[in-house]
Structure formats: structure tokens, C-alpha cells
């Protein structure tokens, strides 16, 4: 279904002043592959068809241009964007033309529906496309009136001023219960081809197979391979769990700690990277972290492929982790697929994390079942694995 999207372009040099005065042009587009919901609008790169160009002097100048673009992340996008800006320059039938190479920012995107318009604010772009976050809904815009568009820009500026504190330096993410880990596990002691499995899921996400879920820009596919040196913590119920040390390639150490009396989907977790802990000192460091009993278990190696995605409906982001864990001495191994809540980005109230967690966990359950793979939903932990293997 084609989405009717108006892109509002602003002069970045005056954007910090009055938003309506910074409004330079509007391009009405048809977006055959755009996806949108209550929280987000995702526009795949290179898929827009421009229809009309408007500015303060002329409204609805015909602009029949395929492959219209505004992104600059890669060379192909930059070429299409430069061609688009040049076209906007040539088609402007006034003496007020701006330079054809002027950098204009597509700060707002407006989707037109029966009875309302939804306004989205630009937030992120990458190889696959650009993401806008929902800002507000308004009455249908009088599209032939520049003043109507300026009023919309002013209203958006007021809403952005309220939402701006929510935009942090970490790609504008917030996190529900940041001290906790929420994850569901699917375990198999027969190890399938995890590369084939993970790439199949990545492809399915990219093709829009899962309702309202899109790959997370810049984090959609990640691979890791590292050792984990684990200490079981027992005795004091308030301290029980484990501490693990993960040597980094740069000589520093990642230190993870989890607190739990029994396996569960929601557990307290603390994870810090880039710690100046020498490998020879990890036991001493572990003892400095707790007064409870420590038992050093056999180390294992974890090979992990991550698919990260987020909901266009709520802004909640999750990871699907495809793991193979093997003891360093080769004595035991197993495979596990985890679904974990990671972070959220929204200009509205954080919501429905647990509901989304159930939804995406069921997506994974069904994905595995369709392939007849021997994964079983359970609570089997890495501590269980290390503890059992250490007895061998």
C-alpha cells in the first residue's frame, strides 16, 4: 500500500531559531515501501517517488521524479540526494532559488490519512533507510497553503521543545528498568547452522515479514566471539548469582554480574566494559565485588550472532541472539537462541515493554518451529552450563 508522505525541508543554518522561518520547501511523495505505526515511520532508502514541490512562492510545482532521496549515509544515497536537490533547484520557478548544493534537512515527515495527518520527526538513518519518530497528530493540512504548513512547523517546534530532553546521546534511546535483564531462552543440545538460521531471520525482518517490526538502524546484524570466565556466587541470598569476566581485544576487560536465586526471565544485571582488570587478577577482583562465597568454574567460549530490531508501534527495541557456547577444553557445548529487551526510543511515554516482549518471543518461537529445529523454551542459563561442565 502506497503511503502519501510530505517531506518538510529546513535550512539547517536557521533551524535553531524559528522553525517556521527555517522551512524552505515541501516535497510531496509516494512511498510504496514505507512502513509506519503509532511510534515510527521507516522509509527504505531510494524508494520515494516525488510528485510535487512547494515553497513560500509557488505551491504544487509538478516534480515527477523517481528515486527521490534525502539521505547522505552512503555514496548511493548522496548521489540520489544531490540529484534531488538539483531537481528542486531547477524546478523552482522564482528568482529566490537557493543554491542547488545547499544542504537541506528533511526534519519532518507528514503522512496523510483520512481525517488526520501524522507528523514524524527525523531521528536516524543508515544503509537501509531512515527512521522518523511520531511527534503528533493534527487535523488535515490545507496542502495548497504555505501558511498552513508554517503553522504545522510551529506546532511541531513546540512539541519538539517538550520532547527534546528525551533525546540522549546514545541514538536517542531510553531503557525500561535499566538495572534488569529481560530475556527468553530457546535451548538445543544439537547445534544447527546458526549462521544460516540468523541470516534467514535477518532477511525476513528486512522483507517486512513481521508486523510493525523493523531492523534497528546500524545495529541490525552483529557478531561476537569471546571467552567467558565465570565465578558462581553462593551463600548470601542477596549476593547469589555469578560474576563473569570477558577479555577484550584491546587488553581491557568486560565485567558482567547477575543476581538471582533461581533461573528466571527477569534478573538483575550489571555489565561494564573497558575495565582495567588484568586477566591474572580476575579472581582477586571478583572477591572485591562480594563478601559471599565464590567458586571458579571452567571457562567457555561464546560465538554469538545478534539481530536487533524495534517496534514501529511502541519504539521498544529487542535483540535476537543466536549463540553457540563451548567449553574452552571442548568437553561440552550447546546452542541457544535468546530474545532480549534492549532499549526504547520514543517521543511519547514508554509503554508495553512486557507485552512487546511476549509478541517478539512468540515470533521467535514460531520461526524456530517452522524450521523443525530442536529448540526448547526453558530457563537454562550459562551458569547451569558452566556448573554442569565443571563437574565433568
Establish if 171 belongs to a structural domain.
no
Q: Are residues 118 and 264 in the same domain?
A: no
For 122-135, the pLDDT digits (tens) are 999 999 999 999 99
pLDDT at 103 > cutoff 80: no
pTM of the model: 0.92
Same domain, 86 and 200: no
Dig out the grid coordinates for 74 from the structure.
Answer: 552512503
Region class of 217: left (phi > 0), else alpha (psi between -120 and 50), else beta: beta
Strand partners, 219: none
Say if CB 52 and CB 5 are below 8 A apart: no
Which of 113, 138, 166 is at the close of a domain? 166
Q: Which position has the higher pLDDT, 242 or 85?
A: 242
pLDDT in tens, 270-301: 999 999 999 999 999 999 999 999 999 999 99
Average pLDDT over residues 297-308: 98
Helices within 185-238 (DSSP H only) = 194-206
Q: What is the CATH number of the domain that holds 367?
A: 2.40.320.10
Number of domains in the chain: 2
Q: Give the mean pLDDT of 353-378.
A: 98
Residue 5, SS3 per DSSP: strand
Residue position matching grid coordinates 565485567: 255
**What is the rounded average pLDDT of the residues 169-176?**
70
How much is the pLDDT for 36? Answer: 97
Give the per-residue pLDDT at 191.
97
Q: Pick from 113, 132, 166: which residue ends a domain?
A: 166
Given a cut of 90, is residue 374 above it in pLDDT?
yes
* 175: in domain: no
Measured CA to CA, the distance from residue 8 to residue 33 in angstroms comes to 19
Angle at 384 between CA 383 and CA 385, to 5 degrees: 90
Contact between 97 and 91 under an 8 Å Cβ cutoff? The reply is no
Of the residues 133, 166, 199, the one at which a domain ends: 166
pLDDT, position 32: 93
CA distance 352 to 357: 8
Name, in order, each residue with C-beta under 8 angstroms of 309's C-beta and a sequence gap of 6 or more: 205, 210, 213, 214, 215, 216, 220, 317, 318, 319, 320, 360
Q: Is residue 350, in this structure, part of any structural domain at all? A: yes
Residues in contact with 65: Cβ distance below 8 Å, sequence separation at least 6, in sequence order: 49, 50, 84, 87
d(CA 48, CA 41): 13
- The CA-atom distances, in angstroms, between 153 and each of 9, 120, 158, 160, 313 are 11, 11, 9, 10, 24
Cell of 21: 522561518
- What gap in Å lies between CA 85 and CA 71, rounded to an integer? 11
- Cβ(88)–Cβ(102) below 8 Å: no
Q: Tell me the mean pLDDT in the region 30-59.
A: 94
The closest of 213, 385, 225 to 310, measured between CA atoms, is: 213
Same domain, 211 and 125: no
Distances (CA, A) of 114 to 5, 118, 141, 313, 319: 13, 11, 11, 19, 35
Q: In this structure, are 38 and 136 located in the same domain?
A: yes
Residue 91 shares a structural domain with residue 188: no
Domain range holding 191?
180-390
According to DSSP, residue 220 is labeled S
3-state helix, strand, coil in the chain (%, to 5): 25, 40, 35
- Are the beta carbons of 372 and 190 closer than 8 angstroms? no
> Would 21 be classed as within a structural domain?
yes
Q: How far apart are CA 60 and CA 50, in angstroms?
A: 11
Identify whether residues 8 and 33 lie together within a single domain. Answer: yes
Nearest-CA neighbor of 39 among 161, 180, 166, 209? 166
Same structural domain, 295 and 322: yes
Please answer whether residues 3 and 118 qualify as being in contact, where contact means their C-beta atoms are separated by less than 8 angstroms.
no
pLDDT at 171 over 60: no
pLDDT of residue 133: 95
Task: Please give the average per-residue pLDDT across 20-42, as a whole number.
Answer: 93
First-to-final CA distance of the chain = 58
8 Å CB contact between 379 and 264: yes
Query: How confident is the model at residue 92, as a pLDDT?
Result: 75
Amino acid at each position: 500500500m502506497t503511503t502519501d508522505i510530505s517531506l518538510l525541508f529546513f535550512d539547517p543554518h536557521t533551524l535553531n531559531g524559528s522553525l517556521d522561518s527555517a522551512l524552505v520547501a515541501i516535497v510531496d511523495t509516494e512511498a510504496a515501501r514505507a512502513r509506519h505505526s503509532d511510534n515510527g515511520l521507516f522509509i527504505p532508502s531510494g524508494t520515494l517517488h516525488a510528485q510535487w514541490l512547494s515553497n513560500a512562492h509557488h505551491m504544487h510545482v509538478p516534480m515527477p521524479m523517481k528515486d527521490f532521496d534525502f539521505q547522505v549515509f552512503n555514496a548511493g544515497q548522496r548521489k540520489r540526494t544531490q540529484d534531488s536537490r538539483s531537481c528542486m533547484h531547477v524546478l523552482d520557478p522564482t528568482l529566490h532559488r537557493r543554491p542547488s548544493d545547499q544542504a537541506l534537512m528533511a526534519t519532518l515527515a507528514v503522512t496523510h490519512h483520512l481525517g488526520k495527518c501524522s507528523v514524524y520527526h527525523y531521528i536516524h538513518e543508515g544503509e537501509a533507510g531512515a527512521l522518523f519518530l511520531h511527534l503528533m497528530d493534527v487535523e488535515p493540512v490545507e496542502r495548497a497553503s504555505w501558511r498552513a504548513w508554517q503553522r504545522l512547523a510551529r506546532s511541531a517546534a513546540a512539541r519538539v521543545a517538550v520532547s527534546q530532553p528525551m533525546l540522549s546521546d546514545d541514538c536517542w534511546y531510553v531503557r525500561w528498568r535499566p538495572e534488569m535483564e529481560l530475556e527468553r531462552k530457546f535451548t538445543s543440545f544439537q547445534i544447527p547452522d546458526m549462521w544460516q538460521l540468523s541470516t534467514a531471520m535477518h532477511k525476513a525482518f528486512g522483507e517486512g515479514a513481521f508486523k510493525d517490526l523493523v531492523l534497528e538502524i546500524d545495529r541490525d546484524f552483529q557478531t561476537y566471539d569471546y571467552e567467558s570466565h565465570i565465578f558462581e556466587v553462593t551463600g548470601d541470598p542477596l549476593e547469589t548469582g555469578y560474576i563473569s569476566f570477558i577479555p577484550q581485544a584491546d587488553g581491557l576487560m568486560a565485567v558482567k554480574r547477575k543476581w538471582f536465586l533461581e533461573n528466571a526471565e527477569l534478573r538483575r544485571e550489571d555489565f561494564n566494559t573497558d575495565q582495567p582488570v588484568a586477566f591474572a587478577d580476575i579472581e582477586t577482583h571478583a572477591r572485591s565485588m562480594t563478601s559471599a562465597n565464590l567458586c571458579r568454574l571452567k571457562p567457555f567460549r561464546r560465538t554469538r550472532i545478534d539481530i536487533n530490531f524495534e517496534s514501529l508501534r511502541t519504539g521498544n527495541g529487542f535483540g535476537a541472539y543466536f549463540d553457540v557456547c563451548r567449553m574452552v577444553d571442548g568437553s561440552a557445548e550447546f546452542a541457544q537462541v535468546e530474545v532480549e529487551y534492549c532499549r526504547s526510543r520514543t517521543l511519547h511515554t514508554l509503554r508495553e515493554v512486557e507485552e512487546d516482549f511476549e509478541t517478539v518471543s512468540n515470533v521467535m518461537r514460531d520461526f524456530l518451529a517452522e524450521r523443525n529445529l530442536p529448540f526448547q523454551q526453558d530457563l537454562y542459563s550459562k551458569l547451569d552450563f558452566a556448573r554442569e561442565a565443571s563437574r565433568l
